[in-house]
Structure 1
Amino acid sequence: MDHNIYLLATDPRDPCRDVIHSRDTGLKVSVICVDENRFEPDPNEIQLYGSAYGKLYAFETINVTPDDALDVIDAIQWYAEYVDYPNMEILPEDPRKGKTVEID
């Protein structure tokens, strides 16, 4: 089985906004620290979630195509290895949904 090669584009102004790029396909996945940044899921994209080192991440595709959709998990697993958290649990839904937020 061939494996894609992934590259990471980072935003020097915001360390919680990365983009995973597949070198071999058109797949792009935004990585957002949802604890630190506002995140509104795009209904036309795929969103998955994971946590590492106490941070909750949202992974959202960018202009996903049917051919690239199958590689999203592989890209997230690559990112988990990159951040040295290979056992990151990948979740299909935002784990914060349904939780109440207290306002002081």
Structure 2
Amino acid sequence: MEYNVYLLATDPNNPCRDIIHSRDTNLKIRVHCTDNDRFEPNNNEIQLFGYARGKLYAFETIDISAEDALDVVGAIQWYAEYIEFPEMEILPEDPRPGHSVAM
């Protein structure tokens, strides 16, 4: 079984601005801490959410391509392990009041 390898680019001025990169594909995911940053989702990207230690994280793809879409959850699971919170539940919608998307 093949596993993707992920790398992390961090912003030394803002610890809540990580970017997850896949080493083997073009997948990139920007990490937002919604408690500290204003998060406005891009309708052309995939957004997923997760809580870790009482903090809500928003994960948004960067220039997502169809072939990379299946790896998004795996990348977020890797990030949860990285921040030492592997039990992070990945949520498909923004759980903050007034932020859910009506379809």
* TM-score, normalising length: structure 2: 0.93
* TM-score, normalising length: structure 1: 0.92
Q: Which residue in 2 is equivalent to 1:75?
A: 75
Q: Which runs of 5+ in 2 are unaligned?
A: none
Q: Which residue in 2 is equivalent to 1:28?
A: 28
How far did 1:54 drift? 1.1
How far did 1:23 drift? 0.2
How far did 1:98 drift? 3.2
Q: How does 1:1-104 map to 2 (within 5 A)?
A: 1-98=1-98
- Number of residue equivalences: 99
Q: Give the Cα separation in 1 of the matches to 2:24 and 2:84.
A: 23
Q: Which runs of 5+ in 1 are unaligned?
A: 100-104
Q: Which residue in 2 is equivalent to 1:102?
A: none
Q: Give the Cα separation in 2 of the matches to 1:77 and 1:43.
A: 23
Runs of at least 4 residues off by over 4 Å = none
Q: Give the Cα separation in 1 of the matches to 2:41 and 2:98.
A: 16
Q: How large is the RMSD of aligned CA atoms in angstroms?
A: 1.0
Give the number of the structure whose alpha-carbon radius of gyration is greater.
Answer: 1
